[in-house]
Structure 1
């Protein structure tokens, strides 16, 4: 099957899986990344190693029409931030890291944890005019526990999404024809900085959800005039007799007292950027 691909490194395993499933990748689309939280080195390296043309410019209708005329059968998108045009005969499918129709939007993983949901999933759907609203080709759920973090959810998605992508191309024509409309759903906006921020006086449940929801990316602990970026941490229930905000070291690990527990900091930074722990 001749395809084009659009995405960045978060779901790069999908690109490898599509090639392994027998797809001929004709062109790769990506976008400029900050190389701090988002990368496209694997995607562009894949293209360059195989002599596949790639671009980080926004995909256009003309691009897709040219691919169609050259014999391309579909475009697969996985983590591509630009809107993909729908005024083209080329079939375009998107890999979305949520159990649609719940969790439409740019970053559903932390939202899943913040909402305390017990299930998420991966969905492959048709690209439609409405964001993440297209008919569903394939979908698979997975459980989300009270111990899951953004990082563990991402690991699960990176393992599940490539398998679904490979499965999709094995019977793409049939899946496309029998795709199931989503119906009503929910669009989740990207979390604001305020939703990523907590204080030692917040409830343990709120602190725990925020720290887990942004593990590896960073949430913000507000301590009066000072703010720490909590890259990785853990909420410990009980044993806090000190006033909220009190700092102690336990076996060299910084811990801040909370209301009814402690926040153990495994990796943190000052809000301005300097490494804290």
Structure 2
């Protein structure tokens, strides 16, 4: 079976590796153009491109696949990519976190299977892992779905669930789901080869949209409950990183623990910041013990280490 792969970040690179190691022939890889990154803002290839190039796979990086784009450069690149797909013998396209819309002109060439990091239709859209943690979901998983024009609306082909623990962040859950996605897409293609893959329409009830995460969301509001704040801190780890300010200094908050005990203090007030109690903050409901923090230009530190160089007792987070 010949597979064209379309994906961009590490989540997709794990799936590409799984397909390659399973022996599928991959004549072409689509990924987004190189982007500036790092302190020097030098152009950096995507994780998918790095893997593809290292293993001798041909890579195509169009700005768009929409041939009707009003931007003439994007439209021209889309036309060239479309012709490349038409001229490449393949059986199926696998898509994982590609980041570009696949128009009907692409979807109609060959079957397109998507690796989606959610138990559809619970979270459709760009940030299903973040939103599942933020919402307090008890489980998530991978859905292998057949792509159609709607946003993550296609029929489901394979589904596997995974519990979300109280310690999971987006980073840890991403890694678990990436590995699961790689295993499940290999299983799906093997079943497809033998005509054993059954498409099941998504339920109409329970649909939610996982909107892309914005940096503005990461500023914490301590009038929320400690449980909600704990979820947000884990959901925004590693990106964009939850934060709060104290005396005008922005502090990143990477780990926390919701405590049941409430306080009559104003939300955001630091109730304790010492070796015995750790860093405890008043919230709208309950209190929050901060366990991992980072000041500007510094490293992530456990609370006990952080307060040695940044005393917080008696101050207020806002």
> TM class by shorter-chain length?
0.7 to 0.9
Tell whether the 8 Å contact from 2:130 to 2:236 is kept in structure 1 after alignment: yes
Task: For 1:166 and 1:125, locate their aligned partners in 2 and report how far apart those are by CA, in whole Å.
Answer: 13
Task: For 1:190 and 1:175, locate their aligned partners in 2 and report how far apart those are by CA, in whole Å.
Answer: 35
Equivalent residue pairs, number: 270
Using the TM superposition, give the Cα deviation of residue 25 of structure 1 relative to its aligned residue in structure 2, in angstroms: 0.9
The equivalent of 1:83 in structure 2 is: 101
The equivalent of 1:47 in structure 2 is: 52
Residues 81 and 213 from structure 1, CA distance in 2 versus in 1: closer, same or farther, beyond 3 angstroms?
A: same
Task: For 1:30 and 1:76, locate their aligned partners in 2 and report how far apart those are by CA, in whole Å.
Answer: 12
Question: 3-state DSSP class of the match of 1:171?
Answer: helix
Using the TM superposition, give the Cα deviation of residue 157 of structure 1 relative to its aligned residue in structure 2, in angstroms: 0.1
Tell whether the 8 Å contact from 1:253 to 1:266 is kept in structure 2 after alignment: no
Residues 249 and 256 from structure 1, CA distance in 2 versus in 1: closer, same or farther, beyond 3 angstroms?
A: same
* Unaligned residue ranges in structure 1 (runs of 5+): none
Tell whether the 8 Å contact from 1:93 to 1:125 is kept in structure 2 after alignment: yes
Question: 3-state DSSP class of the match of 1:122?
Answer: strand
The equivalent of 1:121 in structure 2 is: 141
The equivalent of 2:115 in structure 1 is: 95
1:34-73 map, 5 Å: 35=37, 40-57=45-62, 58-59=64-65, 60=78, 63-64=81-82, 66-73=84-91
The structure 2 residue matched to 1:237, chosen from 256, 259, 275, is 259
The equivalent of 1:28 in structure 2 is: 29
Task: For 1:250 and 1:124, locate their aligned partners in 2 and report how far apart those are by CA, in whole Å.
Answer: 48
Please, what TM-score do these two structures have when normalized by structure 2? 0.74
RMSD, matched Cα: 2.9
1:1-277 map, 5 Å: 1-11=1-11, 12-31=13-32, 32-33=34-35, 35=37, 40-57=45-62, 58-59=64-65, 60=78, 63-64=81-82, 66-87=84-105, 88-173=108-193, 174=195, 178-184=198-204, 185-217=207-239, 218-223=241-246, 225-230=248-253, 232-237=254-259, 244-246=268-270, 249-251=273-275, 255=279, 257-259=281-283, 260-270=286-296, 274-275=297-298, 277=300
Please, what TM-score do these two structures have when normalized by structure 1? 0.84
Task: For 1:165 and 1:215, locate their aligned partners in 2 and report how far apart those are by CA, in whole Å.
Answer: 26
Task: For 1:3 and 1:227, locate their aligned partners in 2 and report how far apart those are by CA, in whole Å.
Answer: 46
Tell whether the 8 Å contact from 1:246 to 1:257 is kept in structure 2 after alignment: yes
Using the TM superposition, give the Cα deviation of residue 86 of structure 1 relative to its aligned residue in structure 2, in angstroms: 2.4
